Amino acid sequence: MASGNAIRGTRVGSGPMRWAERGEQAPRRSVRYWCANGHETEPSFASEVPIPETWDCPRCGLPAGQDQEHPPAKPRTEPYKTHLAYVKERRSDADGAAILAEALARLQQRRGG
């Protein structure tokens, strides 16, 4: 009696075979990445493509890593500015405005205004 049940339970083959065939048709795998802002993204890659270590977050552009607890640090694109740098920047802005005003004045003269 017990052996009959065991035989019925060993009907293997058809199920797993179907899955293997499907897997060959779409050899893709999705990888989850997290950025420093906590955004989660899950791009999928073809199985023959190596999985990149980091992925640019589609929401904020920061590099995202596969370790949710330790996402890549935010890149310091903007260096710390000293007070002098701010003053210089402001002055160059003023210069730019003056040049623009001068150009406009010349333009108006040329038009005969």
| Rounded (10°) CA dihedral 34, 54, 69, 35 | -40
Distance in Å, CB of 4 to Zn ion, minimum: 58
Q: 39 or 54, CB closer to Zn ion?
A: 39
CA angle 24, 27, 33 (to 5 degrees): 160
Of 84, 74, 90, which is closest to residue 39 (Cα–Cα)?
A: 74
CB of 59 to Zn ion, least distance (A): 4
Q: How far is the CB of 28 from Zn ion (least distance, A)?
A: 23
Taking the C-alpha atoms of residue 36 and residue 73, their distance in angstroms, rounded to an integer, is 6
Q: Which is nearer to Zn ion, 38 or 96 (CB)?
A: 38
Catalog residues that contact Zn ion under the rule CB under 5 A: 35, 37, 39, 57, 59-60
